[in-house]
Amino acid sequence: MVQIRHVLCPVDFSDPSRRALEYALTLARWYGARLTALHVVPATLPPLSSLGVSTSQALEPHVRERLREDLLEELRRFSPPEAKKIQMDAVVREGDTAAEIVRETRSGADLAVLGSHGRSGVERGLLGSVTEKVLRKAACPVLTVPHHAEGTGRGTPPVFRRILCAVDFSEASLRALEHALSFAEEAGGRVTLLHVVDGSAAEAPAGSDRLTMGEYRGAREADARKRLDTLVPPAAREWCEPEAVLAAGTPYREILRVAEERSADLIAMGVHGKSALGALFFGSTANQVVRAAACPVLTTRSPQKA
């Protein structure tokens, strides 16, 4: 059972972070969780012209308090009336943005909600320098909200009515499914389970000479469908109307294709590995989905890898 008691939302006063804050408020309200807005002042920040102070003053108490008040105002501005029932606070840190966010996820956060800053040029570089690091190192699930996410108007609470959960049967993806089912229960939504048979890995194993490639692929798909059908608890079937979908091809392309076809409001998926090699090739699936998805993406790790 998913329990979310503390939601963390980094805020840099940009439109993407305001959009992320809307999602964070909704999720905190659903679960009765505490919401923390985090603002990081980079140690290499140029003069803080918007605040009328210089970098040398960034650590002074009155500057930190002023930033904290700005964060609280952001929370109040985007909070629906029901949000008054949840605990909201603001934290200001100075240092490396990604490192500070990751550190905060290790201080008891159950979910981090981040806004992304686009998909091209310098904006893509920003996604790589902050969001990708957080996705690789966060100690809790991360919900990445694209700046172009549809279905949420100003002041309209986000909803997750159509949830796509990519499942490869790893512990990380099964954890993603737990969150997908929980979100669907809160939102009255539906969950589609997607398993992608990677075409590049569809070679028959040694000793299967009696099977044609088509027969082997059919056997793999039948096994995958059977396993998918057993993943949703009987009680959840009464309200989420789960659907199992099989696809073949490059995983991230198929995830994005099915998400578009189903007009998904959320994609949930697991993230694997924290080794140097895993970090180097992080973009192979999860990062590609986060970069290109038209809807928020929830990424989860196996508990022991958090």
Domain count, the chain: 2
Both 208 and 135 in a single domain? no
Q: How far is CA 163 from the centre of its chain?
A: 13
145, 180, 195: which is the final residue of a domain? 145
Predicted TM-score (pTM) of this structure:
0.81
Tell me: do 288 and 178 sit in the same domain.
yes
Q: What is the rounded CA–CA span in Å between residue 290 and residue 142?
A: 11
Domain that holds residue 118: 6-145
Report the 10 Å Cβ neighbour count for 150: 10
Regarding whether 124 and 37 lie in a shared domain, the answer is yes
Same domain? 175 vs 212: yes
Say if 256 falls within a structural domain: yes
Do residue 212 and residue 105 come from a single domain?
no
Mark which of 117, 145, 173 sits at the end of a domain.
145
Structure tokens given for 26: 């909704």
DSSP 89-136: EEEEEES-HHHHHHHHHTTT-SEEEEE---SSHHHHHHIIIIIHHHHH
Do 77 and 177 belong to one domain?
no
Where would I find the H helices in 148-273?
A: 171-187, 213-229, 234-240, 251-261
Domain contains 157 = no
Same domain, 192 and 114: no
Is 280 inside any structural domain?
A: yes
Residue 31 phi, psi (nearest 5): -100, 0
**pLDDT attached to residue 300:** 93
The alpha carbon torsion through 18, 23, 29, 31 (nearest 10 deg) reads -140
Residue 20 covered by a domain: yes
Residues of the chain with pLDDT under 50: 45, 47-49, 51, 53-58, 118-127, 151-154, 201-202, 205, 274-283, 305-306
Could you tell me which of 137, 175, 145 has the C-alpha nearest to residue 269? Answer: 175
Same domain, 98 and 167: no
* pLDDT for the residue 24: 92
> Among 149, 132, 129, which residue's Cα sits nearest to residue 23?
149
Position 150 in a domain: no
pLDDT in tens, 256-269: 999 999 999 999 99
Structural domain contains residue 155: no
Do the domain assignments include residue 44? yes
Instruction: Give the model's pLDDT for residue 184.
Output: 92
Q: What is the CATH number of the domain that holds 121?
A: 3.40.50.620
Query: 200 and 287 in one domain?
Result: yes
Let me know whether 111 and 182 are in one domain. Answer: no
Q: Does residue 226 sit in the same domain as residue 111?
A: no
| Distance in angstroms (rounded) separating the CA atoms of residues 10 and 30 | 19
Q: What is the pLDDT of residue 148?
A: 67
In this structure, the answer to whether residues 65 and 106 fall within a common structural domain is: yes
Residue-level pLDDT at 81: 72
Distance CA 9, CA 35 (A): 7
Q: Is residue 154 part of a domain?
A: no
The pLDDT assigned to 118 comes to 47
pLDDT of residue 203: 52
Q: What is the pLDDT of residues 91-127, one digit of tens each?
A: 888 889 999 999 999 999 999 999 886 443 334 434 4
Residue 125's pLDDT is what?
36
pLDDT at 213: 56
Q: Where does a domain end: 120, 145, 170?
A: 145
